A and B are shown apart, each in its own frame.
Chain A
Amino acid sequence: MKALLIIFVTGLLALFFGLRTDKRWVVQALTVAGLIAALGATYYDWAWGTPFEMAGMIHFDHYALAFSGISICATLLIALMSDRSYQGSEENYGDYFALILFSLCGAFCLFSFESLIMMFLGIEILSIPMYALAGAQKDRLASNEAALKYFLMGAFATGFLLFGIALVYGATASFNITEISTAIQSKGALMPAFFYVGVILILVGLSFKVGAVPFHYWSPDVYEGSPNLVTVFMSAVVKIAAFGAFFRLFAGSFSGIIGQWGPTLSVIALLTMTLGNVTAVMQTNFKRLMAYSSIAHAGYLLLGILSSERGVGGVMLVYLLSYAVATISAFAVYMALSKDNEGAGIQIFRVLSRRDGWSAAAMAVAMLSLAGIPPTAGFFGKYFLFAEAFPDYPLLVLAAVLNSAVSVYYYFRVIIEMYFAPVAEGTAVAKTDFGRNYRIVIIAGLILLLGMSLAPGWLLGLPV
């Protein structure tokens, strides 16, 4: 809870400082300081605090704190590289930091809700700043298109979600996830049919948010059109938030009736990972490639929701952290290379190994991690997830591992561009100038992705 307050206040301050000063670094330093303070507060709550609880609405238990922790870390990395690369209009960089922080507040609500109302509010708090950010480049058509698409699709999703919540309330007379769970257990088969319709509608609403097939159509266009930094935030933090909520709700309330929604979600998961991977193979634009890759990862993560009756959030935590760090460090390299927000092809990475060895290595590790190849963090994320789902869904896991083999193809195209792409004889290869902040993020990503493999059980074993 402390973290939520700190972030909110930092967001307000960023808004004011953004108006008062024209030095970007002031706002950025403020944001980074706020995020570090929030991280410290989260750690304090985890280690010494008592769980904060309020009126059956919010409950900051260990699950909420752990997910808050990783989303703060991800935001911190993104904030660090924000100084040069936010290419929205020049006046509003204060707004940019503020909106990112407000969106993060929404994410906290999604990790800690006890009531469906709070979940709904969290989704809205998370999304509305994102609609604004996606359209931050007012004079660019693609950015406007992204904002509009994102907003319309988001509104649809919200409609499904609200209708679902209403139906569930009608059947159980409660918004509280624990009470809903109790009602399911006590009534058992006597639940009215519209209750299950409600559950499926909530499932659809959340599937929109995580970008699962067939509700994914917005995501490639939105990823491509949004400013780069917003795209990273969307693919890292928003993904963590949406899955944090998805898991909390389905493990907390609906795991008892997995027989009703499990088959639907299995089909969605299968379609999501297959379509995401197969379509990604055909992409040449890097941002679209990452969009489809994030769809594919959503497909794998749905396996975690499916095995949520075991109730182990640690598996989701490891996967989401490794995915987020790899995505951020890949985007850090991409943003350092691309001068504008027009979607660039993967040729932008050509002979990076000779232009800047370390960032090429970091990019390669990020790609290996996303593909799930040991000994990177991504492998352990995938492994835990698949091992968790394997006893109940062996065929789905088989599909998932074959899909990861497919994904090697497009992740390696980036590596091939960096290391093996032919250059004409005698062409001088200019060194690329990476800013200091990018370099920090890139190296941090490299260390995290390799370091996690030394003791991957640490996160897994957290009591979440």
Chain B
Amino acid sequence: MTEEVILQVKDLKTYFHVDEGLVKAVDGVSFNLRKGETLGIVGESGSGKSVTNLSIINMIPSPPGRIAGGEVIFMDKDLLKLPMNELRQIRGNKIAMIFQDPMTSINPFLRISTQMIETIVLHQGLSKVEAKAKAIDMLKLAGIPAPEKRIDQYPHQFSGGMRQRVMIAMSLSCNPEILIADEPTSALDVTIQAQILDLMRDLTARLGTAVILITHSLGVVAGMCDTLCVMYAGRIVERGATGAVFEEPKHPYTQGLVKSVPRLDRISGDRLFSIRGQPPNVIDLPDCCPFYPRCDRAMDVCKRKYPRTTEFGNGRAVSCWLYTEAR
């Protein structure tokens, strides 16, 4: 990992206009991704993890969605302002994606070879024969046995884990700078999850790819990520090096989250810690701290205004009034 920043997300805002009102799915998210780094985004359902990443490659369906503000700087260009034809040269080529469900993200009607060759021919300008050789190499790297034979099969002939391997091979076939993996192992069993995470770690390290890993599993983050962003109701409430965040979570939400996961390596005692209440309804959310109704340390100011982000150096930052006042 170097200090060179390859992707800068600045004050990103993505809103959805629904019948009930305005949903600020992503509301002022900023982070930097360095070369070769693995950055984790954790949060519960509806916290805006996936929308953040779809916004980065400008894939928000509009309407009802709208990127209401912010910048995404990649290779000195703002991806949000790029014309469609230039954006297409980046998607799948420089920035690739893996999705949660490998069955719905591969075309079931096309052979694996057709889908892989299409991408490689389009982005790398190889001939079809060369592209197929490259595709077979990638499948081999991804640990698919007998890739020469398997490449001409259809997606349904692969198991869930194998399909995810195909997705990884496909996404890395153009040597992307950035790989966005949206819950890549959530649909898989633990033993298969271990295989796939191992493969991702190994391949991205070898190819020097930076990864944005979206997940709801703190366990996956702990093993995979260098840095970590915790999202709640469309905002990043805490970020920092993974070790530091786990060791000393600062935001009350992160503290609760870390404590409420049952752990294999220790007997959890009689009761688990649990955060009371429900995740907020994100429709027409007022400009307060969205966590305050569930927070044990809520103060008056939390109900009035969203806190500024307090920087602690080394990329560590927290958005909470507890720390804003102390400064």
Whether A associates with B in a native complex is: no
